[in-house]
Amino acid sequence: MSASQPPQTSEVPTLLVKIFGKDRPGITAGLFDTLAAFSVDVVDIEQVVTRGRITLCALVTEPVPGTEGELRATVHGWADSLKLQAEIISGLGDNRPRGSGRSHVTVLGHPLTAECTAAIAARITGTGGNIDRIHRLAKYPVTAVEFAVSGCETEPLRTALATEAAEIGVDVAVVSAGLHRRAQRLVVMDVDSTLITDEVIELFAAHAGCEAEVAGVTAAAMRGELDFEQSLHARVALLAGLDASVVDKVRTEVRLTPGARTLIRTLKRLGFQVGVVSGGFTQVTDDLKERLGLDFASANTLEIVDGRLTGRVTGEIVDRAGKARLLRRFAAEAGVPLAQTVAIGDGANDLDMLNAAGLGVAFNAKPVVRRAADTAVNVPFLDAVLYLLGITREEVETADAHEG
């Protein structure tokens, strides 16, 4: 038999040994020490500890003929000595093969209710999927759990769960299983209302005394009701005459979205490259790039002449199409296939970028963007995106602790 071919175990007699009870050090070692006396081979192991209670399952080969009764008695005696419960079930073979069409379904709730969990599980089953495994990724600031699903293709599952998620008020992300999920090495995000909580042009407008006028144009543009380039020129024109010293003031007023530093710090530790694209201004994004250690940053540039804003922008306009173009440029410079990129944004001018990326994430986005993106995150914590990549809160905190 080739080393690359799995053994045929479907008809091999096996025993499923299940242990339940209060967790303590040494249970796993003790069980397998007990089983070792009967020269069985381990086929599979699964262990879960929830609120201090352990469930340990060991699938092992059948012992030497005539010794199964002794094995059962010995395991039960060992379990009783530790005030544990034991159950031993005879059967054939290993787990049945997982169905084709495998996906990871990440569910975020704030909180995650039993009603919502039931609805998601029922919709998975109704789409023809089987839930093979569930584990928790985070318990705060949101509850995040991941379902390993097989038996149905990713796209129809994503469509079905997106509808369910909108109805019950949770965030659900569906991505294909496979090595590519761990190979996404470039994350590019929008800035205004994504990386930061502000709209930068509105911060400038507050200093110019035209905040209400600019906010109205911004809102219409983000809803897709206005051409972005025209709205950009109209808003920037209102800033004409502002002293250039306002740039430093605006930089100090910018507020990062909760979780932004954690997201970027964790991605960088994992070897990801991180960039931003913005319909805002390089006067702010360049500062963010330096402060956060970003690899890429691109935005529009406010023209400044004789120490004052002219009310114009210079250079290439970063609009909806421009953001997608920059994502492709950053990916090429980073040496990352486009299919292995993640894009995050909230507005209509992010749609081309979200659709071009391997995974497009709508972050607290407008309805038109939520409907078009691969997945939506509607909790106010940017680092929740880490859970969509299979990264747990525990892993993040452990890495933070190691670096002091």
pLDDT for residue 91 is more than 90: yes
Segment (H or E) for 323: helix 320-334
CA quadruple 153, 156, 157, 160: dihedral, nearest 10: -170
* Catalytic member of 171, 190, 352, 374: 190
> With 80 as the cut, is the pLDDT of residue 9 above it?
no
- Helix H or strand E segment including 219: helix 211-222
Predicted pLDDT at 202 = 92
Q: What is the pLDDT averaged over residues 78-103?
A: 90
Is pLDDT at 52 greater than 80 in this prediction?
yes
Strand partners, 56: 19, 47
pLDDT band at 225 (very low <50, low <70, confident <90, very high): confident
- Note the pTM of the prediction, 2 decimals: 0.84
Specify the DSSP element, H or E, that contains 327: helix 320-334
Confidence of residue 184 (pLDDT cuts 50, 70, 90): low
Beta bridge partners of 355: none
CATH topology of domain 186-200+255-402: Rossmann fold (3.40.50)
Q: Distance (Å, rounded) from C-alpha 184 to C-alpha 195?
A: 19
Q: Is the peptide bond before 25 cis (omega within 30 degrees of 0)?
A: no
pLDDT > 90 fraction of the chain, expressed in percent and rounded: 75
Q: Decide if 248 is catalytic.
A: no
Structure confidence at residue 3 (pLDDT): 47
Q: Which of 174-188, 229-243, 251-265 has the highest mean pLDDT?
A: 251-265
Stated length of the chain: 404
Does residue 107 contact residue 175 with C-beta atoms inside 8 Å? no
Residue 402 has pLDDT above 90, yes or no: no
Q: Is the pLDDT of residue 197 over 80?
A: yes
19 falls in which pLDDT band (50, 70, 90)?
very high
20: pLDDT strictly greater than 70:
yes
- 3-class DSSP state for residue 254? coil
Is 102-177 the same fold as 13-92? yes
The topology (CATH level 3) of 13-92 is Alpha-Beta Plaits (3.30.70)
Domain layout of the chain by residue ranges: 13-92, 102-177, 186-200+255-402
- Among 320, 200, 187, which Cα is nearest to 256's? 200
Neighbours of 185 (CB within 10 A): 18
Q: Cis check for the bond before 13: say yes or no (omega within 30 of 0).
A: no
Counting runs of H as helices and runs of E as strands, what totals does the chain give? Answer: 15, 15
User: Active site residue: 23, 132, 192, 383, which one?
Assistant: 192
pLDDT in tens, 245-301: 999 999 999 999 999 999 999 999 989 999 999 999 999 999 999 999 999 999 999
Q: Does the pLDDT value for residue 120 go beyond 70?
A: yes
Q: Where are the beta strands (DSSP E) in 119-225?
A: 130-138, 143-150, 171-176, 186-189
Task: Return the number of other C-beta atoms located less than 10 Å from residue 99's C-beta.
Answer: 14
- The pairing of strands 53-61 and 296-305 is unpaired
Q: Which CATH superfamily is domain 102-177 in?
A: ACT domain (3.30.70.260)
Cβ-based burial of 196 (10 A; exposed 0-12, middle 13-18, buried ≥19): buried
What pLDDT score was predicted for residue 94? Answer: 87
Separation between Cα atoms, residue 404 and residue 395, nearest integer Å = 14
CB–CB of 149/124 below 8 Å?
yes
Q: Are 191 and 185 in contact (CB under 8 A)?
A: no
Encode pLDDT of 303-346 as tens digits. Answer: 999 999 999 999 889 999 999 999 999 999 999 999 899 999 99
What is the distance between the terminal CA atoms of the chain, rounded to a whole angstrom? Answer: 50
pLDDT at position 145 over 60: yes
Q: How confident is the model at residue 230 (pLDDT cuts 50, 70, 90)?
A: confident
Structural contact between residues 353 and 369, judged by C-beta atoms closer than 8 angstroms = no
Catalytic residue check, 44: no
Q: What residue type is assigned to position 20 of the chain?
A: F
Would you say 300 and 315 are in contact if contact means Cβ atoms under 8 Å apart?
yes
